[in-house]
């Protein structure tokens, strides 16, 4: 199952705890309020009944409550009963049909149908020594009703509050995590372009928002600067060393040549000098490859484009490679399937080097008497070439790495003259032309290396360099 993003998880967590806290606070508040409302209703009833005795007068031997006694003040209905508990005066609320016994000074809660009531009685001695009872009645249901309106209102507001909390929480989290997106984007771009000069460069918001994410971005930027410097120094070192090695290797080669002129050399001495000369030539080749790549890394390898008949050039390179293959007497045949008359704006030297690397690899890694096919075609916009062999092939594990410098898939099969730099150069040359290169291979069946380049030399977006295994799946 796909993991939820941090944004969603934080929002859910935040909303859950917000709602939990709000729900708990409301529950406590409502429970306390409900108790408080009932206590205050009881207190009002008690107070009203006690005050009411002031409103009862005796006139001409008759009990005469004044008009206030009949008014329903603070929702309390008052009535007077004689000693025998007969109703004398007052008002009974509508719907109160029960006739409970008098109970002096006791607060009672009485259910009558759907309604509940508080009933409170007190005895009172009149000025003519008669004893009467005053009863107060007030509705519990009415008091609770006003409270339940508030509860219902809160229950309607609660989902709205949940939604608002979610939306605000999500927007807030998204805003907070925006710099993380920026950091991820920059790191992805650095990986895609291998461009260590990029920086995250978070805007600190005039120094106010120097939070943890800002510090993380700053640390990243610092680390990138250090990495860039290390790589720069490494490239410089490779370039300097290659440069410095060129002269001694040239001297060795020149001295080997001079020594071989000597007619007095024995056969053994001659073969030893020839071995030194061969190894020095391999070293010289490797140094020139290293120099090429370190110049490319430092951006000091400009393309000198010119319009070239690439069909003719490709055919010539194939022919030359055939001559070199014939010298090795392994019976490898190079066949050409080249569309005629393709002209393209390319750097001729780099194009030759690219094709030599591909064809010489195909010849080298092919078996005895095998065939290498060199193809070239164009649709007017792009030229597409390929070098196919039916040689040893490359395993699926090695295939993604063959473009890396000094990577040799099977070191036991390639001689020391094969340093693992050739395909790195091929890739660089194709991409420098705004093109691409890919490899398809199956062990024991052979390999096909294909490249594409824009004919006009416009710097189009490059297609990714991709590899396919024997099942034709892109790796």
281 forms part of the interface with ligand ADP (CB under 6 A): no
Q: Which of 273, 338, 394, 455 binds ligand ADP (CB under 6 A)?
A: 394
Judged by beta carbon, residue 202 or residue 358, the one nearer ligand ADP is 358
Q: Which of 402, 429, 432, 453 binds ligand ADP (CB under 6 A)?
A: 402
For 328, list phi and psi in degrees, rounded to 5: -80, -10
332 forms part of the interface with ligand ADP (CB under 6 A): no
297 forms part of the interface with ligand ADP (CB under 6 A): no
Q: How far is the CB of 407 from ligand ADP (least distance, A)?
A: 6
Judged by beta carbon, residue 289 or residue 433, the one nearer ligand ADP is 289
138 forms part of the interface with ligand ADP (CB under 6 A): no
Part of the chain binding ligand ADP (CB under 6 A), chosen from 68-76, 264-272, 410-418, 427-435: 410-418
Judged by beta carbon, residue 119 or residue 392, the one nearer ligand ADP is 392
Q: How far is the CB of 404 from ligand ADP (least distance, A)?
A: 8
Judged by beta carbon, residue 186 or residue 447, the one nearer ligand ADP is 447
**8 A C-beta contact, residue 446 and residue 373:** no
419 forms part of the interface with ligand ADP (CB under 6 A): yes
Q: Which of 389, 429, 437, 453 binds ligand ADP (CB under 6 A)?
A: 389
The three-state DSSP-derived secondary structure of the chain is CCCCCHHHHHHHHHHHHHHHHHHHHHHHHHHHHHHHHHHHHHHHHHHHHHHHHHHEEEECCEEEECHHHHCCECCEEEEEECCCCCEEEECCCCCCCCCCCCCECCEEEEEECCEEEEEEEEEEECCCCCEEEEEEEEEHHHHHHHHHHHHHHHHHHHHHHHHHHHHHHHHHHHHHHHHHHHHHHHHHHHHHHCCCCCCCCCCCCCCCCCCHHHHHHHHHHHHHHHHHHHHHHHHHHHHHHHHHHHHHHHHHHHHHHHHHHCCCCCHHHHHHHHHHHHHHHHHHHHHHHHHHHHHHHCCCCCCCEEEEEHHHHHHHHHHHHHHHHHHHCCCCEEEEEECCCCEEEEEHHHHHHHHHHHHHHHHHCCCCCCEEEEEEEECCCEEEEEEEECCCCCCCCCHHHCCCCCCCCCCCCCCCCCCCCHHHHHHHHHHHCCCEEEEEEECCCEEEEEEEEECCCCCCCCCCCCEECCCCCEC
Part of the chain binding ligand ADP (CB under 6 A), chosen from 65-73, 151-159, 338-346, 418-426: 418-426
Q: How far is the CB of 342 from ligand ADP (least distance, A)?
A: 23
| Total residues at interface with ligand ADP (CB under 6 A) | 22
Q: Which of 126, 196, 146 is nearest to 34 (CA)?
A: 146
Part of the chain binding ligand ADP (CB under 6 A), chosen from 38-46, 277-285, 295-303, 355-363: 355-363
Q: How far is the CB of 359 from ligand ADP (least distance, A)?
A: 9
**CA–CA separation, 333 vs 16, rounded Å?**
74
Q: Which of 284, 372, 283 is nearest to 326 (CA)?
A: 372
448 forms part of the interface with ligand ADP (CB under 6 A): no
Residue 138: burial class (beta carbons within 10 Å; 0-12, 13-18, 19+): buried
370 forms part of the interface with ligand ADP (CB under 6 A): no
Part of the chain binding ligand ADP (CB under 6 A), chosen from 16-24, 44-52, 165-173, 386-394: 386-394
Site mask for ligand ADP (CB under 6 A), range 192-231, x = bound: ----------------------------------------
Q: Which of 392, 430, 442, 453 binds ligand ADP (CB under 6 A)?
A: 392
Judged by beta carbon, residue 235 or residue 405, the one nearer ligand ADP is 405
Part of the chain binding ligand ADP (CB under 6 A), chosen from 127-135, 250-258, 308-316, 385-393: 385-393
Judged by beta carbon, residue 332 or residue 394, the one nearer ligand ADP is 394
Q: How far is the CB of 425 from ligand ADP (least distance, A)?
A: 8
Q: How far is the CB of 289 from ligand ADP (least distance, A)?
A: 9
Provide the angle, in degrees to the nearest 10, between the axes of the packed helices 212-261 and 140-193.
10
179 forms part of the interface with ligand ADP (CB under 6 A): no
Residues 32, 38, 40: CA angle, nearest 5 degrees: 100
Q: Which of 173, 311, 361, 450 binds ligand ADP (CB under 6 A)?
A: 361
Q: How far is the CB of 389 from ligand ADP (least distance, A)?
A: 5
Q: What do you get for the CA distance between the two ends of the chain, in Å?
A: 24
Judged by beta carbon, residue 15 or residue 361, the one nearer ligand ADP is 361
- Structure tokens, 462: 């490059």
Q: How far is the CB of 433 from ligand ADP (least distance, A)?
A: 18
409 forms part of the interface with ligand ADP (CB under 6 A): yes
Judged by beta carbon, residue 52 or residue 357, the one nearer ligand ADP is 357
Contact footprint for ligand ADP (CB under 6 A): 357, 361-362, 365, 389, 391-394, 402, 407-410, 414, 418-423, 447
């Amino acid at each position: 199952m796909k993991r939820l993003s941090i944004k969603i998880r934080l929002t859910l967590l935040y909303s859950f705890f917000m709602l939990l806290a709000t729900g708990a606070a409301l529950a406590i508040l409502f429970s306390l309020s409900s108790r408080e409302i009932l206590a205050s209703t009881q207190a009002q009833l008690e107070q009203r009944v006690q005050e009411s005795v002031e409103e009862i007068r005796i006139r001409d031997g008759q009990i005469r409550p004044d008009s206030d006694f009949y008014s329903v003040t603070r929702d309390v209905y008052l009535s007077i009963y004689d000693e025998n508990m007969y109703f004398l005066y007052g008002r009974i609320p509508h719907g109160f049909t029960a006739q409970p016994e008098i109970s002096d000074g006791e607060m009672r809660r009485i259910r009558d149908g759907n309604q509940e009531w508080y009933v409170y009685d007190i005895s009172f001695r009149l000025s003519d020594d008669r004893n009467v009872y005053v009863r107060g009645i007030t509705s519990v249901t009415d008091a609770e009703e006003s409270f339940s309106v508030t509860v219902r209102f809160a229950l309607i507001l609660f989902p709205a509050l949940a939604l608002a909390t979610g939306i605000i929480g999500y927007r807030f989290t998204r805003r907070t995590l925006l710099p993380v997106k920026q950091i991820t984007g920059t790191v992805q771009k650095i990986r895609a372009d291998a461009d260590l000069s990029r920086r995250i460069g978070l805007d600190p918001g005039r120094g106010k928002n120097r939070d943890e994410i800002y510090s993380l971005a700053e640390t990243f930027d610092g680390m990138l600067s250090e990495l860039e410097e290390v790589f720069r120094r490494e490239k410089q070192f490779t370039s300097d060393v290659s440069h410095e090695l060129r002269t001694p290797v040239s001297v060795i080669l020149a001295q080997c040549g001079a020594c071989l002129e000597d007619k007095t050399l024995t056969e053994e001495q001659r073969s030893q000098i020839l071995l030194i000369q061969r190894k020095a030539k391999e070293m010289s080749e490797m140094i020139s490859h290293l120099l090429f790549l370190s110049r490319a890394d430092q951006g000091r390898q400009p393309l000198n484009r010119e319009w070239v008949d690439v069909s003719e050039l490709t055919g010539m390179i194939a022919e030359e490679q055939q001559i070199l293959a014939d010298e090795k007497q392994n019976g490898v045949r190079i066949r050409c399937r080249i569309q005629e008359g393709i002209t393209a704006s390319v750097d001729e030297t780099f194009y030759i080097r690219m094709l030599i690397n591909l064809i010489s690899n195909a010849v080298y890694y092919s078996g005895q008497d095998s065939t290498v096919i060199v193809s070239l075609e164009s649709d007017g916009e792009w030229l597409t070439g390929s070098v196919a062999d039916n040689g040893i092939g490359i395993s699926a594990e090695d295939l993604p790495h063959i473009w890396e410098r000094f990577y040799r898939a099977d070191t036991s099969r390639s001689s020391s003259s094969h340093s693992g730099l050739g395909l790195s150069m091929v890739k660089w040359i194709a991409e420098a032309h705004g093109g691409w290169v890919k490899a398809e291979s199956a062990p024991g069946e052979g390999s096909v290396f294909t490249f594409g380049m824009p004919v006009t030399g416009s710097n189009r977006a490059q297609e990714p360099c991709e590899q396919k295994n024997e099942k034709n799946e892109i790796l």
